[in-house]
Structure 1
Amino acid sequence: MLQRILVVLSFIAFIAITIVGGIYWNNQQNEVIQGKVKVEAQETERGEQSGTVADANRTELQAKVKNLPKSAQTAFLRAYDENKQVRIAFVGSLSLGKGIGGWSDLVSEELAEAYDDLVTISTYQIDGSSNEFIVKGMADEVAEEKFDIVMFEPFTLKDNGTIGIDNSLKNLTTAIEALKEANSNITIIIQPPNPIFGAVNYPRQVEEDLKGYAEENDLPFFDHWDKWPDYQTQELLKYLDKEGMPNGDGHALWAEAIMNYFVAED
């Protein structure tokens, strides 16, 4: 009889232990699952926060570049998405003021500050005509770099009265063809040199020939002349040196116009 009682008690104890063990195991599993869910939730939240910051930065970038041609805007956003740089070149005559604190120097510094590491800027300047630009191989030199954006001042003032506007535009075509052959996605922005006081033929070449050429060839034309004093007034002389080139104030004025183009104000 006693033996039977012991057997029954042992069986009851076994069942009790099994039940308690099962409950403990389930509790442990629930704690593991809940911990895993909590960690995953935290990681998801961090990811969402990171994505929100990235989206905000991209939206801010879109607002900054809204004044630029669509292809240039695309270049900026693509570079941002792919963690690359937008490669920009300023090309033209001594009007660029490279190395003497001219607008090309000023804009290069300000663009680097406005866009951090997103941009890299190069400047190609020659003391010569558009003929020399082509003959010396500078058009091919610029093309080989496959820039994303080229702001081109096509020697219109230097060519004025020497090789003629027709030849000047032919040389411009040669340069553009080289740039596009090297990079079909390039954005080429045409801009005139600085205005000069009391000119007659030169303003017409800029307004009718150069601007007309840009429109006919579906090229963006950056007309900064409306930022300068009227070329028929002596007020303009405050911004030019004795040779008709931009002085410090002229370069500052020109640089501000370009910066407002590349970095839109809110």
Structure 2
Amino acid sequence: MKAAIISTLSIVLVVVLVIGNIHWNIRDESPLSPIHSTNTPNEEESEPYFNLDYYKSYAALWPEQAQEVFEKKLTDKQRFRILLVGSDAIGDQDLGLITPLKEVLANKYDQYVTIESIVYDGTTSDYVKDDAYEDLIDKKPDMVIFEPFLLHDNKEKFDTSQTLVNINTVIKATKKELSDVTFILMPAHQLYNANLYPMQVSDIQKYAEAQDIPFWNHWEVWPDGKDEKVKDYYEELDDNTSIANEQGFELWSNYLTKKLIAD
């Protein structure tokens, strides 16, 4: 009986050793896989394999300054922080931009790029008057993707010049504290048959170009504002406002994904 138990244990041990050897030989060599160590037991273990160019390649479509900061952060093994700031038009955790963007960024950049969001329910003038941008600064982002509460300004019939002054105030105040931060402007969702709204978006785009601020116009992937099909991508709410629906947020987040992750 004793001999049979010893024989069985010997067979189990051989099987475990064989399976372990096979697993060792075929394991995936990802950019974060450890280097094969040739150290003796008394030597320090080698650091995990880290491919700087692997991560940089995905950021090829980022603004130049953001790419430079990203490279510095990677070199020091620090996180690059993206902050998405906007009105309720950017949605929330359940239906919006932040959740899909978190997932795709984590998948490509591992822990080296993070994204958070701040939603503000008010106009750009409210945002400036309340010094609400201090919450933005406290997050210490490296890149801010900013939807400047345009539908709220539109609802209050703001002149675009006031919106631009407010945007400039936010950017200037933030850069005073965070000199290396990169701002990117973008509009809220497309609307059907609007008159003033497209002109406001155009004015902001012209401002961005004049100030050398990237403007990510996701309307490029939406149906034209004069096409009734665009109504399939957002919902009208009871308080005379609107928000993108699941299809609209999918269009929008896919556009941002392609900007944030180069093929």
Equivalent residue in structure 2 for 1:132, among 97, 122, 126: 126
CA distance in 1, matches of 2:69, 2:118: 21
Corresponding residue of 1:74: 68
Maintained 8 Å contact 1:144/1:182? no
Of 108, 111, 114, 1:120 maps to: 114
Partner SS state of residue 120, structure 1 = strand
Distance 1:100 1:125 in 2: 14
> Of the candidates 210, 219, 234, which is equivalent to residue 216 of structure 1?
210
What CA deviation, in whole Å up to 9, does each residue of 1:7-54 have, x standing for no partner? xxxxxxxxxxxxxxxxxxxxxxxxxxxxxxxxxxx67xxxxxx89x54
Match of residue 227 from structure 2:
233
Q: Is the 8 A contact 2:86 2:118 kept in 1?
A: yes
1:106 maps onto 2:100 in alignment: yes
Is residue 97–residue 105 contact of structure 1 (8 Å, CA) maintained in 2?
A: no
Aligned-partner SS, 2:236: coil
Aligned to 2:58: 64
8 Å Cα contact 1:156/1:165 also seen in 2: no
Distance 1:144 1:109 in 2: 24
Q: Indicate conservation of the 8 Å contact 2:125/2:163, yes or no.
A: yes
Partner residue of 1:169? Answer: 164
CA distance in 2, matches of 1:61, 1:174: 33
Distance 2:111 2:93 in 1: 22
Structure 2 residue 262 is matched with structure 1 residue 264: yes
Deviation at 1:161, TM superposition (A): 4.5
- The one-letter amino acid paired with 1:152 is F
Q: Secondary structure at the match of 2:255?
A: helix
2:94 corresponds to 1:96: no
- SS in structure 1 opposite 2:92? coil
What displacement does 1:145 show?
A: 2.7
Aligned mates of 1:245, 1:74 — CA distance in 2: 35
1:244-263 → structure 2 map (5 Å cutoff):
244-263=242-261
Q: What amino acid is the match of 1:159?
A: D
In structure 2, the partner of 1:195 is: 190
Give the AA of the match of 1:101: L
Give the superposed CA RMSD.
Answer: 1.8
Task: Using the TM superposition, give the Cα deviation of residue 136 of structure 1 relative to its aligned residue in structure 2, in angstroms.
Answer: 2.4
Q: Which residue in the other structure is 2:136 paired with? A: 142
Count of residues in Structure 1 that have an aligned counterpart in Structure 2: 215
1:213-266: per-residue Cα shift (whole Å, max 9, x none)?
10111111111110111111011111111233100111111000000000011x
Offset of residue 77 of structure 1 = 1.5
% identical equivalent positions = 31
Question: Match of 1:186?
Answer: 181
- Mapped contact 1:97–1:103 kept (Cα < 8 A): yes
Q: Secondary structure at the match of 1:107?
A: helix
CA distance in 2, matches of 1:122, 1:62: 21
Instruction: Select the structure that is richer in helix.
Output: 1
User: Once the two structures are superposed, what CA deviation does each residue of 1:160-200 show, in whole Å capped at 9, x if it has no partner?
Assistant: 15222111111111100111011111110111111111011
What amino acid does structure 1 have at the position aligned with 2:183?
A: I
Report how far residue 80 of structure 1 moved. 1.1
CA distances 1:119-178 after superposition (whole Å, capped 9, x unpaired): 222211012111221222221221233210000111122211522211111111110011
SS of alignment partner, residue 168 of structure 2: helix
The aligned residue for residue 199 of structure 2 is: 204
Q: Distance in 2 between matches of 1:122 and 1:75?
A: 18
Which structure has the larger Rg over C-alpha atoms? 1
| Alpha-carbon distance in 2 for matches of 1:188, 1:126 | 17
